[in-house]
Amino acid sequence: EPEVTQTPSHQVTQMGQEVILRCVPISNHLYFYWYRQILGQKVEFLVSFYNNEISEKSEIFDDQFSVERPDGSNFTLKIRSTKLEDSAMYFCASRTLAGVRETQYFGPGTRLLVL
Amino acid sequence: AQSVTQPDIHITVSEGASLELRCNYSYGATPYLFWYVQSPGQGLQLLLKYFSGDTLVQGIKGFEAEFKRSQSSFNLRKPSVHWSDAAEYFCAVYNAGNMLTFGGGTRLMVKP
């Protein structure tokens, strides 16, 4: 069964460093998402991406964040200058384009720790 | 704004006992509702979803959920819990912006 994959599973970085989180969505999916979950808090939407551009973004997704689909398979989230409060589990998700009712399939997450 | 509330942060049940996890939503239109499960070290796996039609929906792993518009609820149930069901369970709703809004999650522990 096809699945969303994410690398790395864990990343530790120093405050102020740039990090890139990688995701490989399911191959025939066209809509991509990033969510995050700060420890002990809700899963929160960050951004959605379709047709090589951001479709929607939340207030959390400020200028420190960017997303990219550098090739036909990868979907990345970059945090330009990490802050302590960026420590969280980051989930990638994807879905087909068929309609808003389509299920979002999630990857296993990347746990980011900013020191 | 749309919101989802899961009133129970932790629930402990004995193996073989029945389970009900509560979910309440706030959404003006017909909601698209989901239950996801997250096992340790795993991603979010879809258990079931409700869009329209029959208000009792069946999912994987023997789970079901019932949509009750009058109570703004979408509670998850299982008649007999297995130790492997220990995990965190998330209720979510699709909002108008095409993203999911999640509840805070309920951590299920299963006693032998």
Q: Do the Cβ atoms of A36 and A102 come closer than 8 Å?
A: no
Is the pLDDT score of B52 beyond 80?
Answer: yes
CA nearest to B103 within chain A = A42
Is the pLDDT score of B1 beyond 80?
Answer: no
Cα separation, A65 vs A18, whole angstroms: 10
Cα separation, A76 vs A88, whole angstroms: 16
Q: How far B108 CA lies from chain A's nearest CA (Å)?
A: 15
CA nearest to B88, candidates A105, A43, A12: A43
Cα separation, A19 vs A36, whole angstroms: 15
Q: How far A14 CA lies from chain B's nearest CA (Å)?
A: 23
Is the pLDDT score of B54 beyond 90?
Answer: no
Is the pLDDT score of A98 beyond 70?
Answer: no
Task: Report chain B residues whose CB lies below 8 A from the CB of A110.
Answer: none
Q: Do the Cβ atoms of B30 and B52 come closer than 8 Å?
A: yes
CA nearest to A48 within chain B = B99
> pLDDT digits over A32-88, tens only?
999 999 988 889 999 999 989 999 999 999 999 999 998 878 999 999 999 999 999
Is the pLDDT score of B77 beyond 70?
Answer: yes
Q: What is the mean pLDDT of residues B58-85?
A: 96
Cα separation, B92 vs B70, whole angstroms: 18
The predicted pLDDT at position B53 comes to 84
Task: Give contacts of B 47-76 with A, CB under 8 A.
Answer: 49, 51
Q: How far B39 CA lies from chain A's nearest CA (Å)?
A: 10
